Each structure stands twice: as C-alpha cells, then as structure tokens.
Chain A
C-alpha cells in the first residue's frame, strides 16, 4: 500500500469527526439511556434524563449513536419511531430561542423565521392537542441555558412531567450536579431526572478505543506499546479522549516528517523498523501535549523580566500571599541596587509585569491604580530557581 495513502487513512481514522462503528467502554451508560428511552416509548410517557461528565468522555457521541439505535429498535418493535430534535445550546443567541429551535426541528415545514414560545411548544408536544409520536429532545451543553431565574430550564423539565406530554428530555452538560444546584425546585413538581454520569476513560479503555479506531486500517500503523503509553499518560492526566486522539495524530505527524526526510536517503535496512509509529515518537508527541513550558519560557524572557520574576520569587517566598505591584517594584528596585543594574522606570515596570502575566507566570489583578494591582506568583518558586540558576547573574540573588 502506498505510504502516503496509508498515513492519510490513519489520520482520517484518528480525526475527531470520524464516528466509529461501535462505541466501546460506554456500553453501560448507553444501555441505561436506551433502556430509559425504550421504557418511555413503550409506555408513551414523558421522562427526563440528565447526562453529565467531563469533556471528551463520549457524551455527544453516545447521543449520535442513540438516535440511530432507537429508530432502528422502534421499527423492529413495531412502534412509531420518535421524532428527534437535538440542539447544541452554544449556538443559541438567547436562552429562550431554544423553543423555536426545537419547534422548527420537530416541524421542518413551519415558517422558519417565526419565533415560538413555551406555550406553543407545549401545545406541539401534547398528546391531547394532536401529537402522535413521542418526541426525543437532546439538549447538548445544557448549562448555557442557565439564566438568572432558570425559567427556561424549569420549563424544559416541566415539559417532561406534564401528563399528556410526549417529550423525552435528555440534557447534557459537564457539571455533575446541575439539576441539584441550579434547579432545587424540580422536586416540587415531582420531576426527578435520572442522572447518568460518564466517567473519564481509564487507560485500558483508551487503549481499546484507539485500537478499535485503527483496526479499520489494513496495515498496523502504531506500535502497541506506543498506544499504551499514550493511554497511560492521557488517563493519568484527564481521561479526555480528544487529547488521546490529538496525541496520536501528533505522533503520526512526527513519524511522517521523519520518514519523509529519510526517504530522500536510500536506506533500505531500517525500513522494516520504521513501518510503525514507535514509542519514542509517541513520547515526543506526549511531551508536546503535556509539556510544561515554564522553564523554557522563563529562560527565554528578557533580562529585566527575569529580574522582576526573581524578585517576585524572593518576595513571595518570605510571605506566601499576594502583594500589590508597588511592593514588587520596591523589591525589584532593591534587587537592581544590589546587582548594580539600572532599574527601568515604573511605567516600564508595569509593562514588564503585564508581559510576564501574559506568559502565565504571574497573576495580575485589576485595580484603580497600577501600583495597587495585586500580584501573585503563579509558578512554583523552585521552578524559577531552577530556571535561573544557570545564569550567573542570578546565582547569588536567588534565595
């Protein structure tokens, strides 16, 4: 098989937008969701479900799957398949716009520009007023609907408890306790949405998913050890599947680049080994992904920024809390005096502090006057010491 076509196929398989055939390691959650929706469909009763979990744990993917499975099952079981409306709340301009969005996706023929309120939607979803099918509403990123009074969220959940409603509501968000924290009054109208949590992927799960994604390829691309390394690192950090996929892709890029440069030299001997993405490619990719660039950032800073950082480190070592910018300036001036450097002016100094803050090394609050802005060291004191001890200038001044 052609090498570039091969790489291309691997990249496509690893891209986020590729939807795998079967969703691994999420069967328990998906089963619960499907069982719930089947029950609702069979009994023709409304219901609500709340799905939560960290980013990259397969929530939205599971919903895509659910849609297909449900309609297939409904046909087999001889029930009317439900109408599905799925809305991603980030694309709403206003929380109340969700009603029109749902309305229009359930009624594709209706006039698109008309805005629809809660009452109209309620009418649409009511069996008494002519609804025939069950309606499945999938609300992604539900926390974007949080307003001051939570009316929209309450009303949505209310739809799923009304007696003659045909609505099965599935809400998705990151927060595990959205229903309890923001919607304490749900119980008063006896709405108790079932909560299904998507846990972060474990290392075995990530490994399995990666293998499954790559299994479609005719030739193995990754060394299994490389995949395992990726799975272990990602699961230890966040369990975010997107990160794992990115890391694999980066490794693939590195591998491709290396191969390209090699292909110019006629070296047939090491070709066999290079068929795979090796562990070292993956290690480099992971280092890129999870690297902490603090040390290099500090070392690349201009001299005066380093001096400010150094005096900040000294200042916050003694008293471990934040200090106003004026105090840091004083420390810096003292530092300049001991080292015999000519200090920069105070305007320049606040510019330097802003620069360091942009690099994520210093926390800078807001205040009416520059002098009073709260500063805080955001990196470890030891990191600063480690980064600067190589420079002779700082060796004696670091505490």
Chain B
C-alpha cells in the first residue's frame, strides 16, 4: 500500500536493473540458523513503534561481555559481504514482532494522547486509535480485521488489491515488513555467532507526523536508536544516499533510498543531516532558500554523506537532540591519567557537570514554569519566560538541565508528551530564519521563511485541530534572543504573540544577556512577553569556589587556597564561571609544564628554592597559588603592557618622554618635535647617548611597526603597535602624537625596568 504514493513529488525515478533479481523475493525464513545451532529469533530485535523514549538497553550487556567479543570490520554471510557503514535490510521475524512483556506505548493518531480510553489498532498501518476519536466513534472493538480511515482512503485510491504475492524488498520496507539499518559495528560473539549493531532508518509512515505530501517515495529518516542484532537477520544490502547523491546515482537499482533528515524520536523533531555537518563547521553564509540548493551541493561531497564514510564519531556527537546530550566524564579511562590531567578534563568547558551548584533557586523556578506549562489541562495556555543574565552565569546550562529532568519525567510518564525545539540566535543567518528553523523542526519541511511564517501563523492560530503529534505542546527555547531584534521587531512580536493565541500550545523560553531587553523593545511586544522573568546574577566568589570544587571533587590536584584565590580574582571582575574554569585549567596546564621541566631538571629547582625537604609531594603534585597567580597575570594582563615591556630601550625612553610631556603640558596631544626634545633631554640628563632625529622618528614608527634604526621609524613603531596614535599623513616634525593608552599603563609597565632604572623618577 505504501509503496505507491502516486501523488507525492518523488525524487527522480530510476530504472531498476535489480528489480527482478531473485534475491528480492527472498524466503523470509533464516537459512543458516540450523547450521549454527542457534535459535532463529534475533534476541534484541525490538523497535519502539510507539515512540516512547528508548533507552539503549543493549549497552550494559555489551560492557559485561566485551572481553569475549571480536570486533571485525567485515563479515561474510549468506553469500554476502557486510561491512561497517553499509546499509542493509533487516528481516522482521514473527517471533520478535511483538513482545508482550514490553508494553507498547502507542499514542492515538488522532488526539496524540497516550492511554485513557480503549484503543484499537489498525491492521494495515498498525497505528493506534482511541475508540472515541474515530468518526463515527466505535462502541467496542470490532471483530476481525479493522482498517483505519486513513488506510481505507488509501485503499480506495489504490488500484491494486492490498496483498500482492511477490513484492520487492523496497515495497516490503515501505510497507514496514522489513526494516532498514546502517551497520555501525560488527563482531563475533564468544560462541562464534556474528552480530551487528545497526542504526535504524524509519520510513515516513513511522514518524509521528506520518507520510507528508512533501516526503519522497524513497525517503527515509535516520534515527539515533541503535540496536544489536544477529547478522542472520540481515536480508541483503540496500543503499541510502544523501539527496544529492541520490539524484546522481543511476546504477544502484531498486534498493536505493535517500535520507535527508535525522529524526528525533523523543521530541518528534526533524533535523537536517546536512545542517548537522555544517553546524560543526560553523558555516553560516546562506541567506535565502534560493541558495539552499548550493548548500546541498556543497555539503554532499562524498566524505560528508552519511552512508559512504563511516564517520561514526562525528555523527554521534552531533545528531539528534545534541543540546541535551551530556558529555560523560571518562571514568574508566581515568586510571592512567595523572591528577592534573583529571583536573584538566573536569575543568574543561565542554564537560557538563551532573548538576549545577548555586543555581538551585533559578532551576526550581524554570522547572516550575515548564511543569506548569505541561500540566494536563493547562497545555492550551501558551506562556513566555524571559531569562537574562551576564555571560557565564549558567543560563543555558540551567535550562538544558531542567529539560533533561523533564525528559526523565517523561520516561516515567509523570508529564504528558511534548515537543522541544531549541535554537540559537547566533546560528541563524538572519532573524527571519527563525521561522524556517522552527517550521522545519516541527514538520521536517524546509521552506523559505516567508512561506514558513505563513504556515506557522496558521498552525498556531489553531493547533488543536491538527491532531496527532502536532497537537502536542511545544517548548521553544531561543538562546541569544536579542539577536532576533529587527528594525520592525516583527520576529519577536510573532514569537511572543503566538503563545497569546487560543490553543497555540506554544511555550517560549527566551535567553539573552540584557536584563532590560523587554523594556527596550516596543511596548506592544513587552506587553505580550509577559512578566515571568528569571535573572541570573554574576557568581560571587563563594559560589565560584563551590562550582570549581564541585567539578574537582574527584581529584586532589588543587590546593584549597588556590581555588579560592582564582575564584576571588574572577568574581571581583566579572563573576563569569567560564573564565574561572578557564583560569583554573590554565593554572593546571602551567603546573603540568612546571612539573615536566622539574622532572628534567631534577633537583635543580629544589636548590633554587633552597628547601630540598619541602619540595616533595605538595610542591610538585598540587597546583598551588603560584600557578594560579601566573595564570592570572597571563589572563588579566593586557597585551599592550607586555608590548611596552618588550620595547627597545629607546622606544621605552620615547614613551617615557611622551608621558613626561603629557605631565608637563597637561595636553593629551603633543607634536613629534616636542617629544624628541624631551627625549634628548632625558637622555643627556641620565648619561644615555641621545639618538638622532631620524632614529627617534623611526622609534615612534616602530611603536607601530617593526624596529629599524631610523628615527622616523621609531615613532612609527610605537604607532604601529597602536601604542601611539599618530596623525595620518607624511612624517614631519610637527606631526601630532597621542598615547593610545592611559599614561598610568606606561608607568605600570615600565616602572621596574631593569636596564633603565632611572626611568622610574619620571613616571611618578
């Protein structure tokens, strides 16, 4: 039934040389199971057609048995050779089809809700329906086969009888009698049986929104869900391409499919695979949909297609709801790491901690907002929440943490199913792109923003009528909200107007830095945005200390005082947790460096400190105050101070002369002539050889470029480093000069200069 969607705009059709190949009528019974003496049922063939959150249950088993396995990259089986990264059909065996112990959680295809009433299952599409949701409603489950209205309609349109004796594997796949998967890894079990772990593909009917008019007849969706199966359940090869390759490929026959989107089974959202790759590249150049075709072409170079190269690692990192993914602290590999290395890993910004200390209050507030929004009966009432706070105060991390907890609650069925869409204002090429992204996430259809806006507007005007998954409440998280401000502010207006509509079922959570963004917007937007605000204040030093110690709980590398020093230092300036972590990480790096050089020099360092006894455990192992101090100077010291310190002798004198002139005249600007006079005065008074005018000028120039022995260039050098601001134009004696930095910086930088001790008295 599903194989012939006559009305769909299909991807280019192709001649199929394999169409009548004998293997496509393959006998479904496993051929070789007897020879191996195995039970014919693959043990873990199980797919959640009900789309309840799926736990990768096979993983724990794998760990325990890992030792017995032999991983291989290719296996010969049933006259076929299967390699990692290839796509295959997987046979659905009768015995594995329905597991009574695993209760199916199926949501009604009409109202989208789980449970409640008696449900009936369509014998054709296997979709569930509440008896009451049908038209006309049924009183009781009818005897015999029952076919839902959707399938009935299809049957009415279709010209062939529903069951055909011999069908190609493709048709059977599309009729959900077969599955398709990509082999992620292959191995031999201890008993010699070959197994594989496969990442499933879905046909459009298996997604929550069903087959949409824009789905191609050979379109598949990749999921994140990986299962382990025996190789014997593999029927044979199929080929899944990116859309671009799909239109180019001409020789692959009937078993060719294309896959453009990743499907997130938890949230029922779609994500372009192309985007995923591009997001990793941080490549945002495209503006309009007209250019989107370029995008496809560019990104479909062979090494980026999902099927040809098994770039498994990169895919697992970026697919699906990667925003909620948590990088796990690699505990098992921690044996051969030193304490400092462990500390460095724990402090790196990409490690998301299990919980967020010092943000309990905000976390609670946000959680209350989300739970309240998803409560039964309240889901019709849209809501907005605005979160503000300076960078590095854990805004996004807190929200994602809350969403992770929601995910857990969802799996225990404490709350009703919902959809979650996250976007970041910085990743959008233009504010209007919001509509495209939102629409694509909800429907899997990529449109120009104009069209998407229109459809979204219709959608949110009455979401209830949509039925199915589309009527689930949707939580939209917009990070960096302030970037969506346009001149007319219409994007924000729409984002916050939709929740105000009846039955929109949209919750918007906006995150931005500015605390008073709503007040800066037009009053009509502020009026709609509502008054639920959460603001994150900068961390105090006690909080920073707690955060760092929480992260370092596994290791003993840091001295307590050092952590406190670092957190005090950061809290005094910005209260940014990222900076505090970076500072500590840098300190750890410095300590590591010191330790390594210490190893080389052996006792040498100890003799310098003059304390061979104390220089044992505490000094080499731990990261102490000195390391943090070094990191602090590195981080907080401005580059221009260092540039001043590294200047040549005469350049330094030149700077001092500028300061001297500035103090003498009180004018910010001086002429070159005056400075050179002051310089020769300084030099003659302190027994230095005064440079001649040309050299001096070159010093000035070199304070903005490279030093050469030419007076003009001295001046220019100072200017080139942007230590000086020079009047543009020719170099002449009356050219106006100005220090680019406060004179105090010069005094600070040159105060304890070793080669020119006399400088200090002019810098008072």
Contacts and interface: CB of A to CB of B under 8 A. Distances in A.
B457 A91 contact: yes
B572 A242 contact: no
Contacts of A330: 742
Interface stretch (A12-20, A73-81, A160-168, A218-226): A12-20
Contacts of A293: 515, 535
A55 B538 contact: no
Interface string B634-647: 00111011000000
Contacts of A12: 377-378, 380-381
A355 B453 contact: no
A188 interface: no
A263 interface: no
Interface string A130-155: 00000000000100100000000000
A162 to B, nearest CB: 29
Interface string B358-387: 000000000010001001011011100000
A345 B501 contact: no
Interface of A: 8, 11-12, 15-19, 54-56, 88, 90-91, 93-94, 141, 144, 174, 240, 242-243, 246-247, 250, 253, 257, 288-289, 293, 296-297, 300-305, 326, 329-330, 333, 343-348, 351-352, 355, 358-360
A360 B515 contact: yes
A246 B532 CA distance: 8
A358 B513 contact: yes
11 contacts: A12-B378, A12-B380, A17-B502, A54-B523, A91-B457, A144-B488, A246-B531, A288-B531, A300-B537, A344-B636, A345-B637
A302 B504 contact: no
Closest 10 CB pairs of A and B: A345-B638, A360-B516, A300-B537, A17-B502, A55-B527, A93-B450, A303-B572, A55-B524, A15-B381, A90-B490
Interface stretch (B125-133, B164-172, B410-418, B492-500): B492-500
Interface in B469-512: 488, 490, 493-494, 497, 500-504
B390 interface: yes
Given A8-B378, A247-B531, A17 B503 contact: yes
Given A56-B527, A329-B742, A90 B493 contact: yes
A351 B504 contact: no
Contact of B571 (A246, A303, A326): A303
B534 to A, nearest CB: 11
B497 A90 contact: yes
A293 B386 CA distance: 15
A17 B500 contact: yes
Interface string B567-591: 0000111110000000000000000
B530 interface: yes
A85 to B, nearest CB: 15
Contact of A346 (B375, B504, B514, B638): B638
A289 B572 CA distance: 30
A226 B379 CA distance: 27
A351 B574 contact: yes
> Which of A329, A330, A351, A358 has the most C-beta atoms of chain B within 10 angstroms of its own C-beta?
A358
B527 A17 contact: no
Given A301-B538, A352-B574, A333 B531 contact: no
B382 A17 contact: yes
A353 to B, nearest CB: 12
A90 B496 CA distance: 12
A292 B502 CA distance: 31
B239 interface: no
Given A93-B450, A297-B537, A289 B531 contact: yes
Given A12-B381, A91-B494, A346 B571 contact: no
B66 interface: no
B744 interface: yes
A302 B538 contact: yes
B393 to A, nearest CB: 10
B741 interface: yes
A355 B742 contact: no
B377 A304 contact: no
Contact of A297 (B377, B432, B515, B641): B515
B572 A302 contact: yes
Interface of B: 368, 372, 375, 377-378, 380-382, 390, 432, 449-450, 453-454, 457, 488, 490, 493-494, 497, 500-504, 513-516, 519, 523-524, 526-528, 530-532, 535, 537-538, 540, 571-575, 636-638, 640-641, 741-742, 744-745
Nearest to A332: B742
B573 A358 contact: no
Main secondary structure of the interface of A (DSSP, over half): helix
Contacts of B515: 293, 297, 358-360
Nearest to B376: A8
A54 B528 CA distance: 12
A53 to B, nearest CB: 11
A113 to B, nearest CB: 9
A54 B522 CA distance: 11
Contact of B574 (A54, A346, A355): A355
Contacts of A351: 574
A358 B390 contact: yes
Contacts of B742: 326, 329-330, 333, 346
Contact of B530 (A8, A18, A88, A246): A246
A321 B88 CA distance: 73
B531 A345 contact: no
A346 B741 contact: yes
B528 A242 contact: yes
B513 to A, nearest CB: 5
A17 B741 contact: no
Contact of A300 (B457, B538, B572): B538
A240 B527 contact: yes
B643 to A, nearest CB: 12
A105 B622 CA distance: 73
Nearest to B639: A347
B637 A242 contact: no
B565 to A, nearest CB: 14
A57 B308 CA distance: 60
A174 B531 contact: no
A18 B501 CA distance: 9
A19 B741 contact: no
A8 B380 CA distance: 11
A17 B537 contact: no
A242 B527 contact: yes
B730 to A, nearest CB: 23
A59 B368 CA distance: 32
A302 B573 CA distance: 6
Contacts of B372: 253
A183 B375 CA distance: 49
Given A8-B378, A93-B450, A352 B573 contact: yes
A288 B533 CA distance: 9
B599 to A, nearest CB: 34
Among B494, B537, B636, B640, find the residue whose CB has the most chain A CB atoms closer than 10 A.
Answer: B537
A326 B573 CA distance: 19
Contact of B453 (A8, A17, A93, A333): A93
Given A55-B523, A288-B531, A330-B742, A348 B573 contact: yes
A243 B502 contact: no
A246 to B, nearest CB: 5
B669 to A, nearest CB: 13
Contacts of B524: 55, 141, 174
A388 to B, nearest CB: 15
Contacts of A329: 742
Most buried by B among A90, A93, A333, A355: A90
Contacts of A240: 527
Contacts of A18: 502
A246 B518 CA distance: 15
Select the residue from B378, B449, B513, B573 with max chain A CB neighbours within 10 A: B573
B445 to A, nearest CB: 15
Contacts of A243: 527, 531
A348 B538 CA distance: 16
